Amino acid sequence: MATDAHTGEVKGYTLLSYVAPLQREKSDLWRRVENAMPDEARSFYRGEIYASSWYPRRHLHQLMQAFCTAVQSSEDELRELGGMAARYQIHVIYRVFLKFATPALVFNRAASVWSRQTTLGTFTVVEERDDHLIGELDDPDLPPGIPALISGWSDTIIAMLGRTPYRTSAERVSPTRWRFKVSWLQR
Over the stretch 60-104, which tens digit does the pLDDT of each residue have?
A: 999 999 999 999 999 999 999 999 999 998 875 576 677 778 898
Q: What is the CATH number of domain 92-183?
A: 3.30.1360
Angstrom distances, CA of residue 169 to CA of 46, 74, 130, 148: 34, 15, 17, 8
pLDDT of residue 16: 97
Which neighbouring-strand residues pair with 178? Answer: 137, 172
pLDDT of residue 111: 81
Domain boundaries, the chain: 3-87, 92-183
